[in-house]
Amino acid sequence: MPQLLWARGVAKKVLPERSVDWYRRKRATRQYLEALSYELLERETRLDHLEGRVAARRDGFYQRIVTDVLERTEIILQELDRRIEGLSARTGQRLSGLEDRLGELAEEMRALRDAIGEDRAGPVPDRDAAGRGAEQAPSAVGE
């Protein structure tokens, strides 16, 4: 270090004042930028810490939102399930009623077929008489 001070003193005496001022500005700029870099590094380190805390808070916020959305979705699904259950119960009742009615109609069809079969078991009329008789006699199906 003493040699550096001696060299600076010699440079001040030998070099023109303008060159010495230029060198001083250059040294001052270098020192300023070096100090600024340390300050920025420290500030960035603090910001990293703050960003981590903010991110942790944000994660908690998102977690609350997701939980809320899931709860609401669960309520909606329960309501839809209840509606589907009611609809399927009503449809089941209607289907059961239709099956009962279909059974009744099948029974009526059997009865009508039996009635038609008994009519055919009797004497067979001629064609001419059967044709005229069919026009005059009421049909078993129409009853």
Looking at residue 62, its pLDDT comes to 80
Walking along the chain (143 residues) 10 residues at a time, the average pLDDT comes out as 87 90 92 91 78 72 86 93 90 91 94 85 54 49 47
Instruction: Report pTM.
Output: 0.35
Looking at residue 126, its pLDDT comes to 55
Looking at residue 75, its pLDDT comes to 93
Map out the domains of the chain as residue ranges.
Answer: 8-111
Looking at residue 128, its pLDDT comes to 52
Residue 64 half-sphere exposure, CB side, CA atoms within 13 Å?
5
Looking at residue 43, its pLDDT comes to 79
